[in-house]
Amino acid sequence: MRSLGTRRVAQAAGAAMAAVIALAGCSAGQVAETAILKAPVAGLNTQSPDGGLLVRNLQVIYNGTEGYEANGTAPIQLSLFNQTEQPLTVTITSKPQQTVTAGIVSAQQVGLSGGEPTTAPTALPSADASAPTEPAEAPLKPAKVTIPGLGSATFLPQDDELLVASGLSGELRPGYSLALTIQVDNGQSLDVVAPFGIPTSPASRAPGIENENHEE
């Protein structure tokens, strides 16, 4: 038989152990809940019908609340992952929508920009042959890329060569999307819409009106 003192010690030890277990349980629950949280992603995630090509974080790069004007050019962010062991050639285009849908814009061309500018002669106002020439914008290269087996291709805002859509059919601003077609050389094709991106940091607050809180 245990003495009263022994029972009291055992009870106190048991209560302390229960408190430790409860705290450990709370901590574990918090860690587990935090671990499943994921950062929000503004872009579209999808894949080809056969799952051989993964499309990740497809979006129009955010440039402010004004967006991009009609007939203008908009850069696109995109990551492509080849899930097969064979190379895949991917071509990205944009075609006019058969049914006009509010907020969905197409483009005349999707291509790669960022090449060396070419020099094009300008019209000379006189016979002065020494008149300077102005650099012309380099033409877009086709948006066509070959991804090695189990490889990837990314187009990011900080890259020297950007994936862009030019000749927008209408203004492209927050809340709007860009219609694209992603064609794989194995016959797989995806018609997708790239959403307009979201800012990575909150917009700055406008300055307040002087003395707006002043009481007379």
With respect to residue 216, please indicate whether it lies within any of the assigned structural domains.
no
With respect to residue 78, please indicate whether it lies within any of the assigned structural domains.
yes
Place of tokens 């914008």: 137
pLDDT at position 99 is 80
Would strands 152-155 and 73-82 be described as parallel, antiparallel, or unpaired? antiparallel
Nearest alpha-carbon partner for 44 in 202, 207, 179, 215: 179
With respect to residue 154, please indicate whether it lies within any of the assigned structural domains.
yes
pLDDT at position 216 is 53
CB 179 within 8 A of CB 193: yes
Instruction: Report DSSP state, residue 66.
Output: T
With respect to residue 112, please indicate whether it lies within any of the assigned structural domains.
yes
User: Which CATH number do you get for residue 79?
Assistant: 2.60.40.1890
Q: Could you read off the pLDDT of 119-152 as tens digits, one per residue?
A: 344 444 445 555 555 455 679 999 999 999 999 9
CA dihedral sign of residues 88, 143, 154, 40: negative
pLDDT at position 86 is 97
* Residues facing 162 on adjacent strands: 113
**pLDDT under 70 in the chain at which residues?**
1-41, 115-137, 202-216
With respect to residue 156, please indicate whether it lies within any of the assigned structural domains.
yes
With respect to residue 19, please indicate whether it lies within any of the assigned structural domains.
no
With respect to residue 127, please indicate whether it lies within any of the assigned structural domains.
no
pLDDT at position 1 is 40
Range(s) of the domain holding residue 77: 44-117+138-195
What is d(CA 57, CA 43) in angstroms, rounded to the nearest whole number?
4
With respect to residue 110, please indicate whether it lies within any of the assigned structural domains.
yes
pLDDT at position 28 is 42
How many distinct structural domains can be found in the chain? 1
Nearest alpha-carbon partner for 203 in 49, 14, 65: 65
pLDDT at position 97 is 80
CB 114 within 8 A of CB 159: yes
* Residues facing 190 on adjacent strands: 182
